[in-house]
Amino acid sequence: MNRRKFLLQFSNACLAGIGLSQDPCAARPVAGEPRTRITTEPSAPWAIRDAACFDVHTKVFVPHRTIWIEGERIAAVEETGRAGARRGKRVLEAKGKFLIPGLIDAHAHLTTVLYQAAMTGDEILPFFLANGVTTLRNTGDNVPAQKVIQRYSENHPDICPRIFLGSFLIGSAPPIHQDIGWTLSKPEDVPAFVAHMASWGVTTLKIYANCLPAVGRKVIEEGHRHGMGVTGHLSSYPASQAIDDGIDCLEHIQSVSDFLRSDPRNRHSLDVTTDAAQRLVEKIARHKVFVDPTLMVFWGTLFFADDPQVINHPDNAGMPKRLLDFWAKDRVLRLSNYSSGPLSARQSTFRRYQELVGMLHRAGVRILVGTDAPQPQVPPGLSLHHEMKLLVDSGMPPGEVLAAATWNNAKALRQEENLGSIAPGKLADLVLLEANPLENIENSRTVHRVVRGGRLLTPSQILKATSGV
Ligand SMILES: [Zn+2]
């Protein structure tokens, strides 16, 4: 739409008496009884006035910007003062506040962990949105169940993030995760499976740890033929080989670090100082492969047995009881697995994970920001902010981390036309912060308002939808 037409519609809306309050949020119903209500369309044109606006390309805040929103998209971004003040009533004053694109969690699940907690995905979606996470990239789940949750999200956009579907976990027999694994033993079985995933609307194919290299290679080829992104949590299919085969992304820092062990049987024998480590890092950069470290899930798993602060972290406080009960139950399994061995060994492993993230970043690798929520100690929504802090602690500047959580994540979803930056024509998925996250990345938690598809929302109202969960 051209500017003139937009202005005309905007003034008409004002004249018609739609949304005359100073704060559009105050005039609109939000949340309510989410499980039965289908929400209305986004409101008439409105503006966020005079915010500092994050530019994902220069990685700085541009001051004094007014963002005009029409329907679910951004209509214009302009310098405040030129025309902003005269456009009248339907304006959210944002002077002194910081506007960033909606955050994307690049690694989330909506059936597998919840299945064990006797929960359904819709129950945790508001926790993401209330914390500024406006989009989820699913990285492996039961597909029909995801589809139902995606439909729920589309029907309840004022309490749910957008959802992009991930495939079942592709591996050999027997599946590592019975509830979401899918066995493909031969490359010739791959085309029909991938075509089937495409017919469900799946956008990310996930190769799992026990996938045979020949099958993995075919998944990449077929996925690309269907325009899908292909990612991998790799173990039996070596990362270097998957990169040669054209994989788009590596999930978990372990999909890099597990190939840099001095003793293949010992997960704590990671050595990032070797030539082999340097070569792999350079190769990942050269092939423009994304790496999604998900440091949160390792932080949550490696230390909870020794450090009560992990289980009692304030971010866990508002989580549903059934989820917390499952996390407590899962403790037994983890104690004999990731959490085994001396604490000092686990601490040193985690430090090396972070060193490796720093190396990848400095080499020019595009880092994604994913969490693995709702795995134990990885609370949906808040964990994305914690992940960003862990990435900053790994040596990434806050501006790079913010750009990764928005622009890189959108690119990994092949959605950069719609998501990931604040620009005319993009979907109006935005987060307005009280404080500058470039000064301290933890300021990303100061969410004042969330905009999802042009709808202006407040965190407390979104969270009302979780009462009784
Ligand atoms: Zn995962």
Both 57 and 204 in a single domain?
no
* In a domain? residue 426: yes
The 3-state DSSP class for residue 325 equals helix
**Among residues 394, 412, 430, which one ends one of the domains?**
412
Both 149 and 127 in a single domain?
yes
Range of 458's domain?
3-101+421-464
Report pLDDT digits (tens) over 4-54: 443 334 333 333 322 323 344 443 333 333 333 334 455 688 999 999 999
Both 21 and 152 in a single domain?
no
Structural domain count of the chain: 2
Q: Give one word for 74, left, alpha or beta, with left for phi > 0 and alpha for psi -120 to 50.
A: beta
CATH number at residue 295: 3.20.20.140
Q: How far is the CA of 227 from the centre of ligand 1 (A)?
A: 22
Q: How far is the CA of 341 from the centre of ligand 1 (A)?
A: 23
Report pLDDT digits (tens) over 389-398: 999 999 999 9
Q: How far is the CA of 180 from the centre of ligand 1 (A)?
A: 11
Both 247 and 300 in a single domain?
yes
**Among residues 392, 412, 432, which one ends one of the domains?**
412
Q: How far is the CA of 139 from the centre of ligand 1 (A)?
A: 6
Q: How far is the CA of 142 from the centre of ligand 1 (A)?
A: 13
Q: How far is the CA of 433 from the centre of ligand 1 (A)?
A: 28
Q: How far is the CA of 220 from the centre of ligand 1 (A)?
A: 19
Instruction: Report the distance separating Cα 1 and Cα 364, nearest Å.
Output: 37
Q: How far is the CA of 109 from the centre of ligand 1 (A)?
A: 7
Q: How far is the CA of 167 from the centre of ligand 1 (A)?
A: 12
Average pLDDT of the chain is 90
Both 73 and 144 in a single domain?
no
Report pLDDT digits (tens) over 228-248: 999 999 999 999 999 999 999
Question: Exposure pattern of 5-40 as b/e (b: 16+ CB <10 Å)?
Answer: ebbebbeebbeeebbeeebbbebbebbeebeeeebe
Q: How far is the CA of 246 from the centre of ligand 1 (A)?
A: 21
Both 87 and 208 in a single domain?
no
Instruction: Look at residue 28 in the predicted model and tell me its pLDDT.
Output: 37
Per-residue pLDDT band for 218 (boundaries 50, 70, 90) equals very high
- Neighbouring residues of 333: CB distance < 8 A, sequence distance ≥ 6: none
CATH number at residue 74: 2.30.40.10
Both 304 and 229 in a single domain?
yes
Both 162 and 56 in a single domain?
no
Report pLDDT digits (tens) over 316-361: 999 999 999 999 988 877 777 777 788 899 999 999 999 999 999 9
**Among residues 412, 430, 446, which one ends one of the domains?**
412
Both 436 and 324 in a single domain?
no
Instruction: Report the distance separating Cα 348 and Cα 352, nearest Å.
Output: 6
Report pLDDT digits (tens) over 70-112: 999 999 999 998 655 545 568 999 999 999 999 999 999 999 9
Both 116 and 228 in a single domain?
yes
Q: How far is the CA of 261 from the centre of ligand 1 (A)?
A: 22
* In a domain? residue 469: no
Q: How far is the CA of 108 from the centre of ligand 1 (A)?
A: 6
* In a domain? residue 265: yes
Report pLDDT digits (tens) over 152-194: 999 999 999 999 999 999 999 998 988 899 999 999 999 999 9
DSSP of 437-461, one letter per residue?
Answer: TTT-GGGGG-EEEEEETTEEE-HHH
Both 432 and 361 in a single domain?
no
- Torsion angle of alpha carbons 98, 65, 73, 54, nearest 10°? -40
Both 153 and 29 in a single domain?
no
Instruction: Look at residue 130 in the predicted model and tell me its pLDDT.
Output: 98
